[in-house]
Amino acid sequence: MFRVLCLFAAFKAGILLDSGMLFPQESSSREVKELNGLWAFRADRSPTRNQGFQRAWYKSRLAETGPVIDIPVPSSYNDVTQDPNLRDFIGWVWYEREVVVPARWISDGKTRVVLRVESAHYYSIVWVNGVKVTEHEGGHLPFEADIDGLLREDPTTTTCRITIAVNNTLDLHTLPPGSIQYMKDRTMYPEGFFVQNTNFDFFNYAGIHRSVLLYTTPKAYVDDITVVTDFLDSTGLVRYNVSIQGATLVTLKVTLIDKDGHCVVSSNDTSGVLKVVDVKLWWPYLMHENPGYLYSLE
């Protein structure tokens, strides 16, 4: 069951949940396994910052490719050590963690397993057991990939190796923007030396900045919920759409509940408009005797 808080604003401001990934939450049909903690970490200090790809570090344990250190996830790798070279590092860094997956997630064949990264700055590529599963550009939004197929390729093991390469380079197309300047004076700088130039007044924090999760859903699952509220005179309007993946014929119930926990209106359709008679509008504090009134959509 999912719960969405709804408000009917006195100023006709609506809530719109854009199409995208729902935040994972545990329920009777969903499990969440948090992967926060210490991860193996290695910065690619080669002149081109490309050695990790040339030698395919993702195909074996990261410790087998060279020296690694432990880095906490989530954190900014360039802000948790006393190494000035790591603080100023620009380019690809590599994270790795081996995870034990519950056997029931793999054995029943009815469970969808998803790997989710809440945020990594700035460009990321993800492998599971040496197989690329996704890549993402942008340091502020989550991204994820279905990995149950990979986990079931070898039913004799419940361990999976997650490798994430992250690049913090900023250019004219990133947010925030920046530029790379290669220093050509060989009397002062070695071959390939470059600096990251920026025009903002804050530090370029880099790394896996938010949680990494494994979570499950049934094969047929709620993929997205869109809610837009409005009102006409004293009637509240809740336009909703529930996106279902993995099944064509589904049964569901959508219920709008007031602040006291009473059912106001319900529907068995995946999309539609719920009408609330004598709706209680949302007012800011000190502008109404009952400010901040919220309904829940379940």
Q: Are 158 and 103 in contact (CB under 8 A)?
A: yes
Average pLDDT on 128-151 reads: 95
Q: Write out the DSSP string of 229-252.
A: EEEETTEEEEEEEEEEES-SS---
Q: Which of 289, 287, 283 is nearest to 231 (CA)?
A: 283
* Residue 42 confidence (pLDDT) above 50: yes
Vertex 252, ends 246 and 254: CA angle to 5°? 130
**Is the domain of 155 the same as that of 173?**
yes
**Is the domain of 274 the same as that of 169?**
no
pLDDT at residue 14, as a whole number: 40
Question: pTM for the complete prediction?
Answer: 0.86
**Is the domain of 77 the same as that of 190?**
yes
**Is the domain of 171 the same as that of 235?**
no
pLDDT at residue 16, as a whole number: 40
* Residue 123 confidence (pLDDT) above 60: yes
30 occurs within a structural domain: no
**Is the domain of 242 the same as that of 122?**
no
Q: Domain containing 106: what range?
A: 36-210
Q: Are 17 and 225 in contact (CB under 8 A)?
A: yes
Tokens of 17: 């949940």
Tokens of 82: 């006393």
Q: How does pLDDT run across 176-226, given as a tens digit for each residue? A: 999 988 888 887 888 778 888 999 999 999 999 999 999 999 999 999 999
142 upstream amide cis, omega within 30 of 0: no
Q: How does pLDDT run across 109-121, given as a tens digit for each residue? A: 889 999 999 999 9
215 occurs within a structural domain: no
Least confident of 60-69, 152-161, 283-292: 152-161
C-alpha pair distances (Å), 72 with each of 117, 205, 209, 210: 14, 14, 10, 11
The residue from 167, 192, 210 where one domain ends is 210
Mean pLDDT of all residues belonging to the chain: 90
pLDDT at residue 108, as a whole number: 82
124 occurs within a structural domain: yes
Q: Write out the DSSP string of 192-229.
A: T-EEEEE-SSS----EE-S-EEEEEEESSEEEEEEEEE
Average pLDDT on 68-86 reads: 97
The residue from 157, 184, 210 where one domain ends is 210
At 2, is the pLDDT very low, low, confident or very high (cuts 50, 70, 90)?
A: low
What is the percent of the chain with per-residue pLDDT over 90, rounded to a whole number?
71
**Is the domain of 57 the same as that of 96?**
yes
**Is the domain of 194 the same as that of 61?**
yes
* Residue 20 confidence (pLDDT) above 60: no
Q: What CATH number is given to the structural domain containing 274?
A: 2.60.40.10
Average pLDDT on 27-56 reads: 96
Strands of the 212-218 sheet, one edge to the other: 32-34, 212-218, 111-117, 143-146
At 12, is the pLDDT very low, low, confident or very high (cuts 50, 70, 90)?
A: very low
Q: Are 212 and 36 in contact (CB under 8 A)?
A: yes
Q: Are 30 and 217 in contact (CB under 8 A)?
A: yes
The residue from 210, 230, 257 where one domain ends is 210
**Is the domain of 275 the same as that of 232?**
yes
Q: What CATH number is given to the structural domain containing 91?
A: 2.60.120.260
CA distance 109 to 97: 25
